[in-house]
Amino acid sequence: MTLFTNTVRNITNKSFLLWQLLSIINDAQKQQKLTWQ
C-alpha cells in the first residue's frame, strides 16, 4: 500500500511539473507572438 501511494505521488508530481512546463511554454509562445507583431 505504501509503494502504491508513493507511485501515485510520484506520478502526480511529474504530471504537475509537466503541466507547469507546458504552461510556461504556452506563455513564452504568446509573448513571442506579441513581439513578432
pLDDT > 90 in the chain, percent: 73
> Residue 17: its pLDDT value, please?
97
**In the predicted model, is pLDDT for residue 34 greater than 90?**
no
pLDDT band at 23 (very low <50, low <70, confident <90, very high): very high
Domain, as residue range, for 37: 1-37
- The DSSP-derived string for 1-37 is -HHHHHHHHHHHHHHHHHHHHHHHHHHHHHHHHHHH-
Specify the number of domains making up the chain.
1
pLDDT band at 33 (very low <50, low <70, confident <90, very high): confident
> Residue 35: its pLDDT value, please?
75
**In the predicted model, is pLDDT for residue 1 greater than 70?**
no
